[in-house]
Amino acid sequence: MNDITALVEMLGNYTSAEISSGDIKGVITKLAEKEQGSISVSVTTKNEVKILDENYDSETKYSKLVRIPKEASRMAVKRNGSFAAVVVFPGVRQVDSGRTFLNNEMIGIEMGTAISNLSKTIDIQYNVTDKNGLNATCVSWDGKGKPEKWITDGCETNEKNGSITCQCSHLTFFAILMSPVRQNISASDFRALTYITSVGCGMSLFFLAVALFMHCLIRKGKASDATKILINLFVAMFTLNLSFLVNESVANLRIFGACVAMAATMHYTMLATFTWFFMEAIHLYFNLWKLPAEIKHYLTKVYVAGWGTPAVVVTGLLASQNYGYVVIQTDNGSSSKMCWIPDAAVHQGVNIGYYAIVFLFTFAVFITTVRQIVTIKPKEEKAQNVSSIKANSLSIIGLVLLLGITWAFAFFSYGPLLVPSYYIFTILNSFQGFFLFIYYYNSRKRATGDSNAAGSSGSTATSNTVRTSPYQ
């Protein structure tokens, strides 16, 4: 493509010419110095590339049809571009074992200068009769990125009447990436899950805000280390719920940079939430062995680990350009777009792998703590044992929420358990902020009540029951 500029000088008085080099076929045309117009190029089934006049029959079926808008021609001339070239490159190697290019080819478009941010897109229409059950995505070559790779930035994929049209706002190499279709969810399940998530996240957002308000403005006395760690978990969950609720709105703006920022923000808050589950488990484990007092700058180290670790992961994904648009398909053909990690392998490897590490440790601490709660025999009489069992049960439920055990249902999102796990996962985790607020409020109330009782009696009550309240 870099040699095309030299070919323009060889045209002489001709305005256009065909390009051929082995299996590579294309066409080049000079741009008018005044009154530039749109350019239409057809590609036949034999890869014969021809320029069409302005009155071409749009109903004629070509293998491919490239339409370059007038805006692109004007922009090229203003930037000293003198030609437009469309070249078809066959025999392009596949991306990996699971993804290939449509017809194993790509199309290069060159106008002698950089063209980007077009308000009217360059349309590349592929007339496809059978996708062989694969999903089609328009991609463009990012030769400036490190590493160089195919990306969806600046291109929209539109399918209609058996054809696929790539609508792109810049010039480079283009292709259609064919990949296995992700298992679609039914439209009714999708609507139900969306409703549950919206309600749950909204409630969690409100009650987490109330909890933060209570802690910052109406708290009495100095907060314990456990309370400070819990409040950091609340902040992470608050920002996670907020970013999730606004994600689709940002995706629908179709501003790629904003979508990348949204995806990175939501991913960071999710990983931060996982990390603070881990911090809760570490603090609980240390308390079982009375260790925090022996660690210098204990809380500072907890803060750095809690907020710094997910930042390292997200920075790495940003540097490797792994954020973008994700389309969720339903069985009736409708879809919903969000900003996330388009590569399913990266999503699974990073997020499931990250949480798996968190889960192994938090679950081990959970089992250890529950064992102590269950095995310690209270000294109270039988009538008091009923109250003790109730308190211990609430403590165990509180532990499940504090340590994020409910997120483990993500491991069951496969096969026949797929849809049921979606519902369980969505209900437990979208409402988790609300459940944690109840735990926070009851713990705060119980701690205040215990303090008042101790002050009035002049003595301190003791109990062998393991306590998990952040205020004790």
Q: Is 46 a member of any domain?
A: yes
* pLDDT per position as a tens digit, 183-200: 567 888 888 999 999 999
pLDDT reading at 269 higher than 80? yes
Q: Is 279 a member of any domain?
A: yes
Chain mean pLDDT for the chain: 82
Cα–Cα distance for residue pair 43/90, rounded to 1 Å? 12
- Same domain for 153 and 279? no
Residue 387 or residue 118, greater confidence: 118
Residue 122 or residue 330, greater confidence: 122
- Same domain for 279 and 400? yes
Residue-range definition of the domain harbouring residue 141: 4-180
Mean pLDDT in residue range 228-250: 94
Q: Of 5-14, 169-178, 396-405, which gets the smallest average pLDDT? A: 5-14
**How sure is the predictor about 307, in pLDDT bands with cuts at 50, 70 and 90?**
very high
Q: Is 148 a member of any domain?
A: yes
Q: Is 249 a member of any domain?
A: yes
Which residues pair with residue 64 across a beta bridge? 43, 126
**How sure is the predictor about 214, in pLDDT bands with cuts at 50, 70 and 90?**
confident
How many residues in total does the chain contain? 472
DSSP string over 17-47 = EEEEETTEEEEEEEPPSSS---EEEEE-TT-
- Same domain for 316 and 421? yes
Query: Is residue 270 a contact partner of residue 240, using CB atoms and an 8 Å limit?
Result: yes
- Same domain for 303 and 442? yes
Mean pLDDT in residue range 9-31: 87
- Same domain for 198 and 317? yes
What pLDDT, on a 0 to 100 scale, did the predictor assign at position 272?
Answer: 97
What pLDDT, on a 0 to 100 scale, did the predictor assign at position 461?
Answer: 33
- Same domain for 333 and 410? yes
What pLDDT, on a 0 to 100 scale, did the predictor assign at position 458?
Answer: 37
Mean pLDDT in residue range 51-64: 77
Residue 234 or residue 414, greater confidence: 234
- Same domain for 432 and 347? yes
The tally of domains found in the chain comes to: 2
Query: Is residue 230 a contact partner of residue 460, using CB atoms and an 8 Å limit?
Result: no
* pLDDT per position as a tens digit, 331-340: 666 678 899 9
Cα–Cα distance for residue pair 169/106, rounded to 1 Å? 17
Q: Is 456 a member of any domain?
A: no
* pLDDT per position as a tens digit, 429-452: 889 998 888 888 877 766 655 545
What pLDDT, on a 0 to 100 scale, did the predictor assign at position 359?
Answer: 94
Cis peptide leading into residue 147 (ω within 30°): yes
The beta-strand segments (E) located in 276-334 are 324-329
- Same domain for 233 and 168? no
Q: Is 15 a member of any domain?
A: yes
What pLDDT, on a 0 to 100 scale, did the predictor assign at position 134?
Answer: 77
- Same domain for 291 and 142? no
Q: Is 461 a member of any domain?
A: no
What CATH number is associated with residue 434? 1.20.1070.10
pLDDT reading at 242 higher than 90? yes
Query: What is the gyration radius of the CA atoms in the chain, in angstroms?
Result: 30
Question: Where a domain ends, among 143, 165, 180?
Answer: 180
What pLDDT, on a 0 to 100 scale, did the predictor assign at position 383?
Answer: 46
Query: Is residue 217 a contact partner of residue 444, using CB atoms and an 8 Å limit?
Result: no
* pLDDT per position as a tens digit, 125-151: 998 767 777 778 888 988 776 667 788
- Same domain for 233 and 307? yes
Residue 389 or residue 295, greater confidence: 295
Cα–Cα distance for residue pair 462/208, rounded to 1 Å? 32
- Same domain for 289 and 262? yes
Question: Where a domain ends, among 180, 215, 245?
Answer: 180
What pLDDT, on a 0 to 100 scale, did the predictor assign at position 110?
Answer: 92
Question: Where a domain ends, among 162, 180, 198?
Answer: 180
Residue 119 DSSP symbol: S
What pLDDT, on a 0 to 100 scale, did the predictor assign at position 336?
Answer: 82
What CATH number is associated with residue 28? 2.60.220.50
Nearest C-alpha neighbor of 89 from the set 77, 76, 102: 102
Q: Is 470 a member of any domain?
A: no
Query: Is residue 332 a contact partner of residue 184, using CB atoms and an 8 Å limit?
Result: no
- Same domain for 149 and 209? no
pLDDT reading at 382 higher than 50? no
